A and B are shown apart, each in its own frame.
Chain A
Amino acid sequence: EAGVTQSPTHLIKTRGQQVTLRCSPISGHTSVYWYQQALGLGLQFLLWYDEGEERNRGNFPPRFSGRQFPNYSSELNVNALELEDSALYLCASTLPGTDTGELFFGEGSRLTVL
């Protein structure tokens, strides 16, 4: 069974540009979470999508946005990139109806902003 897949794995952008990161959850998983892992800051919760709806978002500015498609895949968009957006962006999925919070993570998209 395929795990959570993310693309691209690495990318370099310059300040002010826009980026789109993609995530495909494990088959049968309907919830997708996005986390930002910046150096030395641990994992910061960004967004949670379930059944195509945004259910919750973390303390990030509106230039961080996303969506979930009918096939449960998801995109994370970041506009007007800033240097501090450089980080590993992790996507995770989970089973529908789970009440334990066990997440299955992809390997991440490493974004460098110059």
Chain B
Amino acid sequence: AQSVTQLGSHVSVSEGALVLLRCNYSSSVPPYLFWYVQYPNQGLQLLLKYTSAATLVKGINGFEAEFKKSETSFHLTKPSAHMSDAAEYFCAVSDFSASKIIFGSGTRLSIRP
């Protein structure tokens, strides 16, 4: 079975600082990995996805993530945080052997002025 673990339920950074949100996965087959963002009172929106092409994936709003098979990680980064980045971020793995997409528990990102 596949699973996703997000380290840190809440991360707070200063505006302009580096954003690092951690995600580790478990999968018996090559995974498809995703980061989604959820702004307050909204549904989830895809930030970026890894589908076995380039290991460094660039997404919207300046975010990127690197697939590291040896570390079973897919951490999300952004060089310089903006106030508008405050939201909840979810890492997800596609598990088509079980026909479902599994989400992590989420990390709430706060930005300090």
Contacts and interface: CB of A to CB of B under 8 A. Distances in A.
Given A106-B43, A107-B42, A107-B43, A101 B103 contact: no
* B contacts with A: majority SS: strand
Given A45-B103, A101-B101, 17 more contacts: A33-B101, A40-B9, A43-B44, A45-B100, A45-B102, A48-B100, A56-B100, A92-B44, A99-B32, A99-B96, A100-B49, A101-B92, A101-B94, A101-B96, A102-B46, A102-B49, A108-B43
Interface in A9-47: 33, 35, 40-43, 45
Contacts of A58: 100
Contacts, number: 60
* Contact size range, A: 20 to 34
B89 to A, nearest CB: 11
B90 A103 contact: no
A94 to B, nearest CB: 9
Contacts of A43: 44, 90, 103, 106
Interface string B10-25: 0000000000000000
A42 B49 contact: no
B105 A41 contact: yes
A70 to B, nearest CB: 21
Contacts of A81: none
